[in-house]
Structure 1
Amino acid sequence: MEDDTDSSAPPVVPATPIFTSQTLIVASLSLAIACLAILVFFTRRKSKSSGNLLLLVGPPDGGKTAILSTLVYDQTLPTHTSLQTNSSAVALPALKKTLTVVDIPGHPRIRNQVNEYIGDSKAIAFVVDASTVSRNGPAVAEHLHIILNALTSLPPSQVLPSLLILAHKSDLLKSGAAALATSEILAVNRVKTILERELEKRRVSQSGGVGVEGLGEEGERTEMGGLECSGEKGTFQFNGWEGGEVVFLGTSVKVGKAIEDDEKGADGLSALRHWMEDNV
């Protein structure tokens, strides 16, 4: 009897699986890279916070209370070192609304009160005395490190408040008849350079497994985060800070001098006022 099987038919080749182990590995790596990119994107959160507070923070005698009184009363009142939080509503005529400004004392034992307000803040203004930062750099950087750590420790679902660093008392850096704008730029450059240098010291100290004791005002060992930066070797620079954008402004006030309506656009806080109106 003849075999009915067609000997000329091609042999049956098993089908190749669509998902091989190699394909699955490549797909898994691609998914991991995509998730990492999304994570980095949301880590550098730059959207505006929905809060309605501007927090004035920073070391004692930096000029926080003087800034608050000038914004509220259009006059810089004599102040003294305070151990109590002050808050006032500041009018923003161009927007027909107000913004609550909270002055948080800079004393080392109570400066952590910032954590009570940070969740409801629109922005945090870290006030630095530009005329003394050269000799007080380590202590100022320690205080700022606390703020950076507090910001980056907020839940990922929460939009970060904007961070301003005010190079205050910029008028004290003027020489001769130099223009105000020149002194403001000088103040900003000085404050930024010194703080980046001191924060980098803290970052290197921590990354080497050594606490940053002795680098700050209290001389305490700490392993706080908040100094992570993108870029080569992670060197701390404000432009690469993974917490988001950092804005620098030069400011100054004149104690006892009332500000007339036609002077508000040209006084030592004009840059801060403009920022508030543009970002509230």
Structure 2
Amino acid sequence: MEKLEDLKILAEQWLHQGIEFVQQVPQTPLYASIVVLLLTTIWFLSIRLFRRAKPNTVLLCGLSGSGKTVLFYQLRDGSSHQGAVTSMEPNEDTFVLHTENTKRGKTKPVHLVDVPGHSRLKSKLEEYLPRAAAIVFVVDALEFLPNCRAASEYLYDVLTNASVVKNKVPVLLCCNKTDKVTAHTKEFIRKQMEKEIEKLRVSRSVISAADITNDFTLGIEGELFSFSHCLNKVTVAEASGLTGETDQVQDFIREYVKP
């Protein structure tokens, strides 16, 4: 994102210098044609540079134990790496999605970051949010109810982050471990988290003047909260890292990090 901003500033400087040049040179058809050609070239080069600078970082975030790391390895290697230990540092790599390795033609690599879910490491997530092209928020569908409140608070903080709102970063609410018979459905999880976020929205609006952890508020005044109220797109999907059922996650990633 910083490189993109630098390119924008440089392009603006070029255009400004070009305008000054137009004002200084003799107003003849020849000079005018040269300047128009120069400015047009700069414009098209700037557009191409901006397109190349589009972010390809996708964040996997959520509470510890939700299965983020298993999903990370499934997307990268097609293996669950069940022996992996939850890390206190982000687990990241740039790669072509495992299921795309056998496809012909060029496929754009994805920079995937598995952010630790421990509350003490929240600052790690905030470092990556400004660079995110998309966010996969992972929820444990098997042990959902005991963690519903904590997961909703975490998601609330993500959805009210300045970078997420301003850049309209799309979020996938990924209900993981749905291969288990006792796992909750994505519809149930969505509704319960909307209810919890509504409670948070109301309680935090009362103390908004003292609430310095969030940059924006959620929802529409006078209406119960729904993910459809968010300025950025929020969708819900099911997955299972252990069994490799990650199609919906991959489709989401490829929607925002084009091949």
Q: Give the TM-score normalised by structure 1.
A: 0.64
Q: Distance in 1 between matches of 2:63 and 2:251?
A: 24
Contact 2:134 2:256 in 1 (8 A): no
Contact 1:51 1:119 in 2 (8 A): no
Q: Distance in 2 between matches of 1:223 and 1:102?
A: 23
Contact 2:160 2:218 in 1 (8 A): no
The answer for the alignment partner of 1:34 in structure 2 is none
Contact 1:133 1:194 in 2 (8 A): no
Which structure has the greater CA radius of gyration? 1
Let me know the Cα RMSD of the aligned residues.
2.6
Structure 1 residues 69, 143: closer, same or farther in 2, change over 3 A?
same
Deviations 1:154-190 (A, max 9, x none): 398x533211110111112x36xxxxxxx7xx52112
Deviations 1:1-53 (A, max 9, x none): xxxxxxxxxxxxxxxxxxxxxxxxxxxxxxxxxxxxxxxxxxxxxxxx93110
Structure 1 residues 193, 225: closer, same or farther in 2, change over 3 A?
farther
The answer for the alignment partner of 1:249 in structure 2 is 237
Deviations 1:209-245 (A, max 9, x none): 4899xxxxxxxx8763544223x6142110112x221
> Identity of aligned pairs, percent?
25
Structure 1 residues 155, 133: closer, same or farther in 2, change over 3 A?
closer
**Count of aligned residue pairs for this structure pair:** 198
TM alignment of 1:79-228, pairs within 5 A: 79-92=84-97, 93=100, 96-150=107-161, 153-154=162-163, 159-172=167-180, 174=181, 187-209=185-207, 224-228=214-218
Unaligned 5+ segments in structure 1 are 1-48, 176-182, 213-220, 256-266
Shift of 1:71: 0.8
Q: Distance in 1 between matches of 2:69 and 2:164?
A: 30
The answer for the alignment partner of 1:70 in structure 2 is 74
TM alignment of 1:233-272, pairs within 5 A: 233-241=222-230, 243-254=231-242, 267-272=244-249
Q: In the alignment, residue 200 of structure 2 is paired with which amino acid?
A: R
Unaligned 5+ segments in structure 2 are 1-52
Deviations 1:87-108 (A, max 9, x none): 0123143661210100110000
Contact 1:168 1:187 in 2 (8 A): no
Q: Give the TM-score normalised by structure 2.
A: 0.68
Q: Distance in 2 between matches of 1:155 and 1:166?
A: 17
Contact 2:68 2:138 in 1 (8 A): yes
Contact 1:228 1:234 in 2 (8 A): no
Contact 1:206 1:223 in 2 (8 A): no
Deviating beyond 4 angstroms after TM superposition, the runs of 4 or more aligned structure 1 residues are none
Contact 2:60 2:115 in 1 (8 A): yes
> Going by fraction, where is helix more abundant, 1 or 2?
2
Q: In the alignment, residue 222 of structure 2 is paired with which amino acid?
A: K
Contact 2:95 2:111 in 1 (8 A): yes
Q: Distance in 1 between matches of 2:81 and 2:209?
A: 41
Q: Distance in 1 between matches of 2:217 and 2:142?
A: 25
Of 251, 254, 257, the match for 1:277: 254
Contact 2:60 2:114 in 1 (8 A): yes
